[in-house]
Structure 1
Amino acid sequence: MTTPSPLKAALREAALTRRDALEIDDRLEWDPEIAAGVLALPIWDNASGPVSAYWPMRSEADPRPVLEELHRRGLPLCLPAIVEKHMIFRRWAPYEPIVPGGFGTLVPSPAEPVAKPAILLVPLAAFDRRGYRIGYGKGYYDRALTELGPVISVGIGYAVQEIAAVPDEPHDQRLDWIVTERETIRCS
């Protein structure tokens, strides 16, 4: 576990407050725009998967339309789950059962096989243009990106979540891309 930074905590709270204040009608309009931006990335040209995303909670941007399209294209999918304070990824396909996974998340059944994703669609609390993100403060995605080795990482969120600079620390992992309803940012 990482030690929470007071500055990151304040930035997280402010970004989540902005995100939570978005009108549901705006989010419902913007989620398809974000999905179209993700699906337009050049990473899909030679992708073979597996692709991991997250099951949205609270006011997070919804990656499920992306997952449905990737499934239609034949790419294998998985969702993250926290097991013994460690993020793993389990095989999943649209309309398959999901179960409560802690922290308010929904995850594939523990009976599903573990997968090693090649591409991760990552939720954001806050982000900057360098590709650094603030999540919910436990460091699960940073550790997963480190442990998985070379993977493509795409942050998904709303433009209001952008901040000038994330106070990055040595354990923080940069994202390759960030997609919002306004733009696609190539980070590295």
Structure 2
Amino acid sequence: MEVTPRELKKTLRQEALARRDALDPRWRIEASLSFANWVEALAPPAGTAVSGFWPMRSEVDVRPLMEALRKRGARLCLPAILDRETIVFREFLPDAPLVDMGFGTKGLDASAAVLEPDLMLVPLAAFDRRGHRIGYGAGYYDRAIARLKANGHARRLVGIAFDCQEVPQVPDEPHDVIIPEILTESGLRRFPPAG
């Protein structure tokens, strides 16, 4: 019986997340702090909307990188889940109250302004050396990126992961969004465009 791309992605996701979960928590903190060292390589023009994310479980904690981007003039935003299909990105101001977004993450309530980010720090479960990513399975980011690109936004996508989340090859599916850059603790990787 042939394994479908969806089934293979599920297996690769589980294996990559198990490797990430097994990382020493203290090492994860130190590695997460080092991501802020890449602010110069990522720094967009002042005033650019940059989406980050509030870390859940054993994810890279991008908050130090987000703060470094804020100091460089970026307008930060976090994803907010509207329904089972849609996320928007709400402006994340210093001292803004956070609310539970489900899935173990936090975001901003409806009183925060909605921004359309041009630089997106994209969470992922696994990736390959072509820039193909496996998300957490709900498709929120694939749909959000497609919507933002159609509106002329999301011009730069940077996946955020630890090296241990790399897999040999992510199965290709038509709806997948390729991430041209992935930032890990060992540096910023850039992938050539497909084709």
TM-score w.r.t. the length of structure 2 is: 0.88
After TM superposition, list the pairs within 5 Å mapping 1:10-159 onto structure 2.
10-37=11-38, 39-41=39-41, 43-44=42-43, 46=45, 48-84=47-83, 85-149=85-149, 150=153, 151-159=155-163
What are structure 1's unaligned runs of at least 5 residues?
none
For 1:162, the equivalent position in structure 2 comes to 166
- Cα displacement (A) at 1:114: 1.0
Question: Over aligned residue pairs, what C-alpha RMSD do you find?
Answer: 1.7
Give the share of equivalent positions with the same residue, in percent.
48
State whether residues 19 and 160 of structure 1, in contact with CA within 8 Å, keep that contact through their aligned partners in structure 2.
yes
Distance 1:45 1:31 in 2: 20
For 1:184, the equivalent position in structure 2 comes to 188
Q: Secondary structure of 1:171's match?
A: coil
Q: Secondary structure of 2:114's match?
A: coil
- Cα displacement (A) at 1:136: 0.6
Distance 2:156 2:162 in 1: 20
TM-score w.r.t. the length of structure 1 is: 0.92
State whether residues 45 and 73 of structure 2, in contact with CA within 8 Å, keep that contact through their aligned partners in structure 1.
no
How many corresponding residue pairs? 184
Aligned amino acid, residue 74 of structure 1:
G
State whether residues 31 and 61 of structure 1, in contact with CA within 8 Å, keep that contact through their aligned partners in structure 2.
yes
What are structure 2's unaligned runs of at least 5 residues?
none
4+ residue runs over 6 A deviation: none
- Cα displacement (A) at 1:47: 5.4
